[in-house]
Amino acid sequence: MKGSKSLSAWQKILIGVSVLLVCDLLFTLLGLWKKQWIIAVGINFVGIALIFQWLQAYVPPRRLKAYERSLAIGFPIVMLATWELLVRAGILSATWFPPPSRVAQALWEVATEYNKFTKTSLLGRPWLIPDMYSEQGWQGVVTLFQESHLWATLMRVFLGFLAGAIPGLVVGVAMGMSRTVRVMLDPVVSAIYVIPKITILPLMMLIFSPFGEMYKIVTVAIGVFFVVLINAMTGVMQVDPIFIEAGENYGAHGFQLFRHVIVPAAMPVIFAGLRLALGTALIIIVAIEFVRAKSGVGFLTWYYWEILNPPKMYAGLIVIMILGVVLTYGLQWFEGIVMPWRRRREQRVVLEIPEG
């Protein structure tokens, strides 16, 4: 094809769309959708991606953001719709891959329908909220929510995270600032750091009784502790010496130097550690709830595996996903408050202003 270089984007798009349609028609006729579905899906994805890339040439620059956003939102919706269609067409098994509509319905049931075995639901007994509110006000609503699976998991993650992150910060910063402390503790920390923290669960049950919440919270806390510690130490050690020199030259010593120079300089790495630790905390809590708990989102997912209810297992996954996203956003919001200088990074245009 000699003339291919001079094709305009519109022509490319037209050709792309028709080639894709012909391919799909062929796949359907040959029955490849069932046998070679990986190849069929792959070709379709590449084709669609190419078409949207060519289409971008026609998007006016001020619409580019909106265009990208609609792609980012639109594509997952298309994926879910494809999933739904594939199941309804009988290509994907509805047993192992229940369609999104079925999962959504299961999510609603899990969230609001009282389960006799677990004696509550994901959100507790939300149908009692109006009564409780009129009787006891917000206090009553909170009490009601406290019996839910979501609350159980949230509390374990929250308490475990705090109980691990605060000492982790203190010890990590101390190790970053003092070479002696670092030399003393580093072998111990490095050795324990590599242990997958879920392995200490039996030990924690031995130490803190295998009943109640304590051993769960402590296991989460220990997992969080080491991740936060390592990052806090690295953050402090990576502070550019020029900032410390400048701080000292302008009269900051001891605590002032710590508060005005070392802590803010180490903050970005510390927050990266907190984000990692949040992920660790979720992994640990879900694992604990799988094996030991009688409440919590992890327990719920495991329970629906035991009674073989795939749509509700998917619902459990979605709740954990939402939990992770919400907690991460919460942490980012907190980050923006603590580190205002990291906000609005790309927004302002820098200009060299002339004198006068």
Partner 1 sequence: MPKKIVAEKITKAFPSPRGTIVALRDFNLDVEDGEFMCIVGPSGCGKSTFLRILAGLLPVTSGQYVIHASPDAPEGKPLNNVVFQEYAIFPWKTVLDNIAFGLQMRGIGKQERYEIAREWIRRVGLTRFEDCYPHELSGGMKQRVSIARAFANDPEVLLMDEPLAALDAQTRAIMQTELLRIWESDKKTVVYITHSIDEAVLLGDRVVLMTARPGVNKACYDVPFERPRDLRLTATAAFAELSYSIWESLQEEVKKAMEEQLQ
Binding site for partner 1 (CB under 8 A): 242-243, 245-246, 248-252, 256, 260-261, 264-265, 267, 339-341, 345, 348, 350-353, 355
Of 306 and 352, CB closest to partner 1: 352
User: What is the distance between the alpha carbons of residues 99 and 282, in angstroms, rounded to a whole number?
Assistant: 26
| 8 Å CB contact between 188 and 243 | no
| 8 Å CB contact between 323 and 297 | yes
Neighbouring residues of 299: CB distance < 8 A, sequence distance ≥ 6:
118, 149, 289, 290, 293
Q: Token pair 């290509």 is at which residue?
A: 91
DSSP 58: G
Taking alpha carbons only, the member of 322, 321, 309 closest to residue 94 is: 309
Of 113 and 248, CB closest to partner 1: 248
Of 48 and 244, CB closest to partner 1: 244
Q: What is the largest CA-CA distance in the chain?
A: 80
Of 194 and 350, CB closest to partner 1: 350
Of 3 and 340, CB closest to partner 1: 340
Neighbouring residues of 347: CB distance < 8 A, sequence distance ≥ 6:
none
User: What is the distance between the alpha carbons of residues 318 and 320, in angstroms, rounded to a whole number?
Assistant: 5
Q: How far is the CB of 172 from partner 1 (least distance, A)?
A: 19
Of 5 and 344, CB closest to partner 1: 344
User: What is the distance between the alpha carbons of residues 162 and 327, in angstroms, rounded to a whole number?
Assistant: 13
User: What's the CA dihedral at 30, 36, 39, 44 to 10 degrees?
Assistant: 50
Helices and strands (H, E) in the chain, number of each type: 15, 0
Q: Token pair 């799988």 is at which residue?
A: 290
Of 60 and 340, CB closest to partner 1: 340
- Other Cβ atoms less than 10 A from the Cβ of 268: the count is 15
Of 15 and 267, CB closest to partner 1: 267
Q: Token pair 């009688």 is at which residue?
A: 294
| 8 Å CB contact between 311 and 98 | yes
